[in-house]
Chain A
Amino acid sequence: MKGVARELAFLLRDRGVLLFLVVALAASSVAVLLGVVEVAQQRATIAELLAADRAERQVVQAGQTDWGGAAYYTFHLTVDEPTNFAFAALGQRDVSPWKHRIRLLALEGQIYESDAGNPDFALIGRFDYAFVVSLLAPLLLILLLHDVRSSERAAGRYEWLSATSGRERSPWRMRSGLKVALLTGCLLFPLWIGGLASNSGAGVLASASLLTALHLLFWWGVCSLVDRCGWTSSVNLVAACGVWLLLAVIAPAAIQAAVDASIPLPDGGDIVLTQREAVNDAWDLPKEATMEPFVARHPEWEDHMEVTRPFEWKWYYAFQQVGDQKAEEISLAYRDGRQRRESLAGKLSWLSPPAWMERSLQRAARTDGRSALDYEDRVRQYHAELRAWYYPKLFPGLPFDQDRLAGVPEYSD
């Protein structure tokens, strides 16, 4: 115990060590702070949108005179609320939309609309806790540990220190262990403060802390392997940075390229083109051409399929749905491809601990690719609910009732 205190005193007198620890603490604090601000902004945006959407819907609905028109003119807002831990890993939220307005028309033409933020920013990326801990922290650790042995060797104390300590490895292990522990503390402290302020919950904070510690342990291993080779400090630093470059930059990019190449996606444009052709052709086709595939999917409306006039709302919505049905196969392939890319990337991310770290934090924060797909599924689900609500009014030709419009399903996250 006395030894620990002595080493700690040594370390804290070392200006270099202090500098890197302060940098770590500052980086983590800034990242957490920016994350919290960003999440607050997203929440505020969502609240504002919800209010505006509600007001807008009331105005639109008040002017309606039939169910078809109500369904045509009313947009419904769907949102993907950030979780209480999202501040730590903003993940895909810069690239994938988290707010979306849809209406009862064919969904395939609407769901790929992307209302994401500034593309310049998405390109550069966010300074969030996940970034700090997966990319910056290993470098700081390397800077802290690259010369644990080599500096003593250079100072001519190495043999002497090894000889006088009880066990051969202990002074280096204790010294590096302390540095790792201090760095971990400097990274985690702001995270816990942010987590408490954001009400993240103990479980997610504990697992994030564990992940952080594991990640740093891995890099400790890398550093001690390099340090054991007996090179000079500079060569150590270069070698460890080389490993970082390989694992943190080149490996993720290579995995991404490999995953994208091995799982090709159908062209997104083909989905919407197919859907558009189906929807627009319907205007010129005999009504039965629309109503038959529709009834195949919805046998419950079989008795209400007769369309006598050139335009009827139920026929209009039927061909909207048939448009989705025609594009379904390719749309499913597109979704399935993204899912498979996502899960393959998850499996391969073990090859790159920083990528694995970042993905794990995004998973915990529900800001990863899978969560973006989940949101898309919830939008689909909600659209299906809208159809289920409107169809029993449209197909049997129920008389329009303004009061019942208030009962249209609300999107719930």
Chain B
Amino acid sequence: MSTVLTIASGEIRLWRRTRVAVLAVSVFAIVLVVSCLLTALRISKAAEERSRQQAAAEETFLSQPERHPHRMVHYGHYAFRPPPPLAIVDPGVDAMTGQSIFLEGHRQNTAMFSDAHASADLGGLGSLTPALVYQFLLPLLLIVIGHAVMVREREARTLGPLLAQGVTGRQLYAGKSAALLGVAAVMLVPMLLMSAYGVLWGESFAASLGLFGIYVAYALVWCSAIVLVSTLGKARGVALGILASLWLTSTLVVPPLAVATADVAVPSEGKAQSDLRMQAEIRKLGDGHNAADPAFAKLRANLLALYDVEDVADLPINFRGVVAQSSEASLTELMNRYAEERMALELRQSSRAAIFGWLSPTMAVSSASRAVAGTDLGTHHRFMRETEALRFDFVQGLNRVHAQQLAYSDDIHRSRDPDAERRTRVSAENWQVLESFRFEPDPAGPRWRRASASVLPLLAWLGVFTVLGFASSGRVKP
């Protein structure tokens, strides 16, 4: 054991002497700390801002004066998605999707005002978030520092004497790995702090620990790859070349290639397309604004029979409100079917792309990180579903008021008769049908389940590299 420690501390002493290693570590540390601070500031400001906007939107809705309930259906409501605490590490797709959505009757809108749309675009890899720094720069740093751990002994012809002194290849491997892991551990400290901050901010302990664990696994994958290549390599240049190519492939080539192939393999359908495809079916449902639409003939007949009256004017309830209710229900059912189809398609695309995690640890860690941080596509979809449920509930609540509190005769004459119009306004108390909405992150369990498909390749890479490294270190020769 003490041999291993001696080797490790010798390696670290060497790194402290070389300028390249010190410079690389300092640059990495600066970039990391700056990105952590900037992202944390930005995210906590956004979280505050959106919670405030959500509360303001609810207050405005509830404080509307008395009016016709259908006016309120079109007045609509806003839902906002505040970023989850762990977005300070990985803001994920939040910047791409937009965080507010307008909810109104008979329509499912898309989320609006994405940051990516409004912000300056300079190409590159996008904005520097802690997640990006860890995914892209940490392996590069480890490669710069560690590519020569074993190969240097060989080049300097010190490997022979070392082995002759009775140090085994395994001990060398363990010692060098321990030294590199030490560097990685120091670099992971900010991640640990960010995760801890997440817990303080209300994030579940399991998710925060999980996020930290994912990045630990990622760092381990690279450490094991580096020591393996360094053990097998005959010259420092070759080892560096191989590792640089691995990094290049894993971070820069595979992820966008995965996106492109997934997009070709599973063509997506935008909202405009599915909306248009849906139109023919919508027409069959009838227009809820028009109670005379033949589509509602059956509803009318049923109601007349139920209450045993001749004309809708004699019904104890407002037929127009009933039509609005029934048409909103069937329309929503239809729109949800198409929305679910679209979301399933997107998920299929993303999971197709995620298969490339088996080729690129970076691809794997990035999708696992988004899933655990609660900023992935799945969470966005849940936001869309929950806001849709919110929309449906308040619209139907208003339609119920429309059916129960408004006289049919006033309702049909309100466009021509100002007095009738006045009688179709209902008290503002009815606006209480609006449920208050706070978008909460998933519990840790479902997030883990979504991440598992991407964590698996990471663990597999780690296992393979470690086993290979361990095996080859047993046979190491000068």
Q: Which of A's residues lie within 8 Å of B, judged by CB?
A: 16, 27, 30, 34, 37-38, 41, 45, 48-49, 52-53, 56, 59, 77, 91-92, 95-96, 99-101, 109, 112-127, 130-131, 134-136, 139, 143, 147, 151, 233-235, 237-239, 241-242, 245, 248-257, 259-260, 265, 267-269, 272-273, 276-277, 280, 283-284, 309-311, 334, 337-338, 341-342, 344-345, 349, 352, 354-355, 357-359, 362, 368-369, 372
Contact = CB atoms under 8 A, between A and B. Distances in A.
Interface stretch (B91-99, B329-337, B468-476): B91-99
Given A53-B276, A120-B349, A238-B144, A253 B128 contact: yes
A117 B264 CA distance: 13
10 contacts: A34-B264, A38-B260, A52-B277, A92-B121, A109-B102, A121-B349, A143-B241, A242-B23, A245-B140, A251-B124
Give 5 closest A-B pairs by Cβ, nearest first.
Answer: A252-B124, A358-B123, A268-B113, A345-B120, A127-B256
A216 to B, nearest CB: 17
A115 B270 contact: yes
B386 interface: no
B123 A130 contact: yes
Interface residues of B, number: 99
Most chain A beta-carbon contacts within 10 A, residue among B76, B78, B100, B260:
B260
B17 interface: no
B138 to A, nearest CB: 12
Contact of A234 (B110, B236, B261): B236
Interface string B352-370: 0100000000000011000
Given A124-B259, A135-B252, A253-B128, A143 B244 contact: yes
A273 B122 contact: no
Contacts of B74: 280
Most chain B beta-carbon contacts within 10 A, residue among A16, A52, A130, A334:
A52
Contacts of A259: 119-120
Contact of B263 (A38, A252, A354): A38
The main secondary structure of chain A at its interface with chain B is helix
B78 A269 contact: yes
A338 B118 contact: yes
Interface stretch (B297-305, B390-398, B414-422, B439-447): B414-422
Interface string B399-440: 000000000000000111110010000000000000000000
A126 B260 contact: yes
B67 A284 contact: yes
Given A127-B259, A253-B127, A345 B122 contact: yes
A134 B123 contact: yes
B93 A120 contact: yes
Contacts of A53: 276
A120 to B, nearest CB: 5
A130 B351 CA distance: 26
Contacts of B451: none
A34 B260 contact: yes
The main secondary structure of chain B at its interface with chain A is helix
A256 B127 contact: yes
A262 B450 CA distance: 38
B244 A237 contact: yes
B377 interface: yes
Nearest to A150: B237
B349 A52 contact: no
Contacts of A234: 147-148, 236-237, 240
Contacts of B148: 234
Given A235-B20, A253-B125, A359-B122, A120 B353 contact: yes
Contact of B102 (A45, A119, A131, A272): A272
B189 interface: no
Contacts of B100: 268-269
B256 A249 contact: no
A310 B417 CA distance: 7
Contact of B124 (A101, A272, A352): A352
A118 B121 contact: no
B71 interface: yes
B112 A113 contact: yes
